[in-house]
Structure 1
Amino acid sequence: MAAKFELKKTSNDKFVFNLLASNGQVILTSETYDSRASALQGIESVKKHAPDDARFGRLSARNGAPYFTLKAGNGQVIGQSQMYSGAKARDAGIEAVQHHAPVAVLVDLSASQSA
């Protein structure tokens, strides 16, 4: 299976997407978007900015769990990872996004969902 972006509609008629690695694991989750068009722009922004290591914020949650964010050119967060067990695992997650995002296909599940 190739890497893919899955676009979904939320229960309150907003949109969110996940980037899934080739093994099906979610490696990045978007912010919530008001419109499908905005979410599609967010996907394009992830594809564009993922190769740039400087766009990734390497952070820690209150409990110390490492995670990362990906920021667009305007500094706005366009995606966030899950929490990781350690910095090495988080950095591997960043590498996965850098590798998979530019070539990931879009699977639009939003049209087939009823809110």
Structure 2
Amino acid sequence: MSGKFELYNDAQGKYRFRLKAGNGEIIAVGEAYETKSGALNGIESVKKNASSADVVDTTS
């Protein structure tokens, strides 16, 4: 089973998304959006940018 994005409303009625791995574990969560289209744009941005994003280690 592959991963999936879930779009949902939070307790305040805002739109949010989460990315779940194939085993159902949540591996990423988006911010709160006022509109559904904003949340969908957030998902598209993650899809577009994640594969080429650099890893920046800011730990000590």
- Please list every run of 5 or more consecutive structure 2 residues that lacks an aligned counterpart in the other structure: none
CA RMSD of aligned residues (A): 1.8
Q: Which residue of 2 is the match for residue 43 of structure 1?
A: 43
State the Cα deviation string for residues 11-46 of structure 1 (Å, max 9, x = none): 211011110011111111001111100000000000
Q: Which residue of 1 is the match for residue 16 of structure 2?
A: 16
State the Cα deviation string for residues 61-93 of structure 1 (Å, max 9, x = none): xxx8xxxxxxxxxxxxxxxxxxxxxxxxxxxxx
**TM-score normalized by structure 1?**
0.47
> What SS does the corresponding residue of 2:18 show, helix, strand or coil?
strand
User: Which of these two proteins has the greater Rg computed from alpha carbons?
Assistant: 1
- Residues 47/9 of structure 1: CA separation in 2 closer, same or farther (3 Å cut): same
Aligned equivalents of 1:6 and 1:59: distance in 2?
29
Of structures 1 and 2, the one scoring higher in RCO (CA 8 A, sep 6+) is: 1
Aligned equivalents of 1:8 and 1:48: distance in 2?
21
Aligned-partner residue type, residue 50 of structure 1 = A
Q: How far off its partner does 1:58 sit?
A: 3.8
Q: Which runs of 4+ in 1 moved over 2 A?
A: 56-60
Aligned-partner residue type, residue 27 of structure 2 = I
Aligned equivalents of 1:58 and 1:32: distance in 2?
26
Aligned equivalents of 1:29 and 1:59: distance in 2?
20
**TM-score normalized by structure 2?**
0.85
